[in-house]
Structure 1
Amino acid sequence: MRKTPSLRLSNRLISFVTLMVSAAIFILFIGGAISFKQIGNEYLEHYLAGVVNVVDEELLAPEEAKSMAKWLPKLLKASSVVSMELSSPTGPVYSFQTLSVMPDDTLLYQKTLPLQINKGYSITFKSIPPYSAFTYSLGALFSITAAIAVIIVSLLWGVVWLRKQLYGSELLEERGRMLLAGRLDDYSVGSEEEWPATASLALDSVITELKDARKERSRFDTFIRTHTFLDKLTGSANRVLFDSKLESTLQESQSQGVLLLLRINGWDDLIEEQGKVVADDFIVEIGKQLNNIIQRYSDGVLSRYYHSDFALLIPQQSLKEAKIIASQCLKVVEKIIPPKSLNCDNWCHIGVNMYVSGEGRGRLMDELDMAHRSALLQNNNSWSLFKKQQQLTESLGSVRWRTLFDAIFEQEQLLLYKQSTFLFKGNELELLHLEIFSRIRDENGVQIKASRFLPAIKQVGYQIKLDSAVLKQVFPLLSDPDFSQYMFSVHLQVKSLQTPAFIRQLRNRLLQTPRAQLKRLSFELVEGQVVTYLDAVRPIARLLKSFGCQLVVEQAGRTIVSTHYIKDLNVDYIKLHRSLMKDIHQRYENQLFVRSLLGACENTGAEVLAVGIENEKELKLLKELGVEGGQGRIFESETALFHRQEKISIPKRRNRWGK
């Protein structure tokens, strides 16, 4: 990937101009000094040549040659000549040596000049170099000093002017850096001072079009998923999504729940007598009433299973609760005034069936249809339960659940399980993190999975206690040498993130943990809860990301929602719901959903992970679709993080009537 330069354009231009001017001043100074020295040497040579001519003429007259010893030393001394030696072919004729302190011989200027008249004679001079004893003179060098000062001042003014002229380019460059850093929303519109203005306006236009394209892509992806998995008329799940959710639920161990099938009696007569518009309005009204009931259960699924059929899937419900739900459905539906072609007392019949993990989907739907027929035989609006040879055991009530949870949290007996999540690196697997699951044991030592006790946790309002207990056990693992090579992923409930006390507790734990350890920690949030409470999740997501933690959104695809949260929260990983993985190589609608989500994650930095991979065919197809990683029993089953054998001791209820 091409890297951006670390030095700004204005700094580079200013550095270039300053370097060029400084180099010019330096070269001018060196050249002037050399020229100054050369002029001095030429002047000295010219003066010494004049002395040589005088001496040469004096040697012609013997009388004047004798008097030369009187005036020549004075002349030489005035000319800064240190020594002079007049030589002839036979040897030295005259020599002069100053009595003053002589400088180093290497610093003296030495020159030998021949006499023109007296052939064979020569004079050797040793003189102090010109200007060597001079100091700086303001008067003499004022012009040069002023010129250098003008150049420096002009350079400083030019730098300031250049900075002002390039300020707009700096703004444009800084904006580009922020866009590359992912802050598109904050820098989508540039300043009027940006330069070149055409580049700034073009960037604004491109960003606007990009935002529109992303919104259109998100709407298109949502449109695809909606028309693939949702009923166009009621907005509830269609038959494809309902069957997928049911099969996924039946594969989970210790799962149980209730199935309801509501069918309108006389649907064909209604369409024939009053038309499709009246029938559609009637269906929409029934869907609204049933949706109000299903909203009470977080994992419940409402589906328009057929033209006149509604199917409800509510996991982790007991037989007693199933009867209550069926009575509530019948009661709210009977409040609807049916069209005239329908019998007010015999138009709605509900079949109820219970399921446990391991049962077949086809058999359950057949039993549900038999239960509906039994209700139809009663000739009035009613519901009927399919009676199996072995019904579900009754679940704990809210009071018993609360008592069990209190004992577990007080005795710190929450069980933690782990399952590895891998990234696909060609044909090899790279460990991403260990996903942490919570389980509990009841008073009889029977282990209960989170999928079964989480609805009870929400019912009694213990989400914060559960998350706090999990974090209390996970944070010490970050500093444990035995787990130093692992990364951990912890589940959090959005309800906890809406509580200031829990946020303070979480922030304090993060502040007390070194950042190097926090980089090995991820937090997982449920997609449906994230979209519903996006405003509450947004600041918490920024807090976690600021500490170096990773953000994971799980159960993607369990509900059909918009994917704008991916960019908004800067999500690192998205985990697909396990219901999409079941026989995905045979279900093109699930493949379409995965392709749509992969397209929504493009250019966002988020990677898509698959959960619940069971066989090689599913794994091969997921790799072909472009899923970056996954987890499931094909790689590794859930294993206990710690092995605890302590038994939960629950205080017995006091016998109020005993003596």
Structure 2
Amino acid sequence: MFSLLNIANKNNIFSFSKNIIYILFFLFVLICLLFSFLFSNYKEQRLLENKNEYLLIVKNLHNELQENLLNNDYVEFNSDVYKAFKSNFFSKIQINYDEFIFNKHSLIKNVKFFDDDLWTIGDITVDASFGYILKIPKTNAYRFIEADTTQEVQRIQVKIQVYNAFEIKYFFTPLVFRDIIKIHDFPISNSFYEYFENLIDYKNETLVKVLLINKSYFGKITYHIDQRMIKQEIIELFLIYIFLIFIFILLPFFFIAYYHYNVSHRFIKEPIYYLNEYLDSLLKSDFTLIKKEKALGIYGITNFTNKISKITSKLASLQNEVNMNKENIERKISIDTLTGLANESLFNFDMKNKLINNEDGILLSLQIECLVSLSKKIDYDSVNNFINVYVGLIKNVIAKYSHNNIILYRLFGSSFSIVCSKTSLEDSIKMSNEIIKVLEKNIPNMFNTNEKVITIGGTYFDGFGTIQSTLKSSKEALLHAKEMGSSICHIIEKDLILKATQVLTEEVISIVKKENFSVSFSFDTHLIGDRKNIIMREISPLLYDEYKNKIAIGSFLSIASSIKMVHLFDEIIIKKAMSYIEENDSKYCIVVNISFDSLVYSEFLEWLMKTLQANTKIAKKIIFTVTSYSAYMNQSLLKMFIEEIHSCGSKILIKRYQLNDFPINELKDLNIDYIRLHQNTSINISNDKSKKYILRNTIAFANLHDINIIADSVYLEQDYKILSALGTYAICE
């Protein structure tokens, strides 16, 4: 019985071994087939990627080499060739000239101790025995024509005349023209790889690219492509695959058992759980050190842990840097760099708050009358000193009256404003007269001037007006003070403002009830790179009083809101927009302003949703827009409105967007479709690092949250190119 048991056990062992052999053989065949399929696909894909890669390198390299040859800059040329050789794609690069071409930069750059490209090149000459030089039309390049001689010219001395508004100079600059051959010495490859060369039927090739200037051919560059490195890479992969096949055949069961019972939980699950919790804390800006003992895992996870640790340190450092940059930019945006006063941007923001909240107060406009004439007598630093002294004297007077409710702003140049919140007329006049008295006493003696030093005019805050209308009223008071001659402050009476508001209210009621206005279209918008096709236009009401004087839309809406007629006005505008789309079969979208005061009326919202749902084709052509400040102040209402109009196919646009109106990180939950930047952010950006920084971060945020960025009022080609490079969606010109 014992022997039978032994025989049975032996048979079981044999059967088990045989099954293992069958399984291993099956795995071997399966892995081989899989390997063959994967390797074949990878090889073809890798060869294609390799080709695309070196074609792209050749394209970029050719542009750089052509520029270097035009600049006659062989140092930069050799540097670019060396970098290209480091890619191990090229065995040889050969340059052949048919004509000798060079540009203005090459003439300036090759002159010793002179490299100012701002000078204009005048006359260019060369020894007649060598040839002569011609200007290539419509370019800044020149062509050297060799003389009829058997001597081959490789180096010439060019005499150039350069000049600016004040001086003329002459220089000799050497230029070199010769055919060039650069050969790359590849590292000696292992002869072991030669046995596997037949695995890859991919031969070296030669690419010839012509050298052009203004569509005129002047030479060629021949790129000899060498494929040995990609062959070696694929062969190495092939050997790795072979090695892996044997590993999988010899140790499959052992590896699987060990992995599942020992490795999986301890070295994968636990570290991943910990890392997941750690990443959650990072998202909350909790930059703590990673506990590596809790994140020890297999090589990939350990490596991943180390990288996360490094990223954490970098993120913490980056956040500090961003916060510092943000503070500097916010300061630059809101503070006048000379005087330290709040500037026009902050003035607009503060006034916007006060008008929206219907605060009482007086706006004073101040003008330095003698600044223009004084600046002609003294130097720049003295002018700055004058302005600082001037501002200091005003601030000293304000300090006597202010309890943080009177703020001095510098709008631009010699123009200043004082916002007096919750300040009586008597105190405002008294303070203004004291400012005039102090300045007239000190400025003439300190700066030797007999001219009038200041004029002050003011007006009450107009709760139904706009910043522009209030500022305009203040400037009118200032002009009136100038006409009066003597140094006094003139403030427009409140009764006159109330009377004008009453008249305007009657006009608003009449216009809305009779629908007595027409519309026009503005803010034509097109995609970057496609200026011919308009993608959206904004509908704008043309509002006039009975005397054909234009009514500011801001004042009109403020009064319409106060008399609870703004939703009726918005309804009329929407109907006109829909009629235009239908009647003209519009190919572009129509942008329609919507007031938040309209959205609080449930009957208006109900009518709007029914209208859009009944006209889905037209609804898809409508983009509703609100200003960034009003959007920030009504976020919950805006979020609800966006959900409603998205269900009908319409979209939303935030216009006049500025960071100080609406912090960008608070936009992510609103599902915005478009952002039209404030024109101050999107114009004159070429030399303004802070604007580029704001644009770059705004566009990066928008790309992450599927928001299209539109730049407003772009008219400079240089700004257009920068906005295009940064990835702006569209331009409003």
TM-score where L is the length of structure 2: 0.41
Q: Which has the larger radius of gyration?
A: 1
TM-score where L is the length of structure 1: 0.45
**Structure with greater contact order relative to length (CA < 8 Å, sep ≥ 6):** 1
